[in-house]
């Protein structure tokens, strides 16, 4: 045991059990990074995606699993839609695809954030 370091046994997760508070904070951070990506640029969204990939498996069997799954899938769909929209700019309809993808992502991520703050699965 390390001297000077106390473990808070009441708040420590049972062995083999996920730390829901910590995972909740990670899921919250991913939503914040995703939404910040609209203002700060895509790098924060990429960081959020990597975080969701790393922490998502730890949430298996909890209500947070649906949040991490949503975060990963919506990112991948968003990338696909933005690439499609970029290509379709050449024929004049890409702007509508890009606008639709942006609105959809904002809706999904804000809805997920609200559900997370309410302690509910997506």
DSSP letters for 54-69: HHGGGGTTSTHHHHHH
Q: What does the pLDDT profile of the chain (122 residues) look like in tens digits?
A: 334 434 444 454 556 677 899 999 999 999 999 999 988 888 999 999 999 999 999 999 999 999 999 999 999 999 999 999 999 999 999 999 999 999 999 999 999 999 999 999 99
Parse the chain into domains and list their residue ranges: 20-117
Which contacts of 51-57 are long-range, i.e. CB under 8 A and separated by 24 or more positions? 51/26, 52/27, 55/23, 55/26, 55/27
Q: Please state, in angstroms and rounded to a whole number, the distance separating the CA atoms of residues 101 and 36.
A: 16
pTM: 0.83
Closest among 19, 88, 79 to 55, alpha carbons compared: 19
């Amino acid at each position: 045991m390390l001297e000077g370091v106390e473990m808070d046994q009441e708040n420590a997760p049972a062995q083999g059990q996920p730390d829901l508070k910590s995972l909740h904070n990670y899921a919250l951070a991913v939503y914040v990074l995703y939404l910040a990506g609209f203002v700060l640029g895509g790098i924060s969204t990429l960081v959020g995606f990597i975080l969701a990939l790393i922490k998502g498996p730890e949430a298996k069997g909890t209500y947070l699993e649906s949040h991490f799954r949503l975060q990963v899938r919506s990112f991948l769909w968003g990338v696909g839609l933005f690439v499609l929209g970029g290509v379709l700019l050449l024929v004049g309809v890409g702007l509508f695809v890009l606008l639709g993808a942006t609105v959809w992502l904002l809706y999904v991520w804000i809805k997920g954030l609200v559900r997370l703050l309410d302690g509910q699965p997506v």
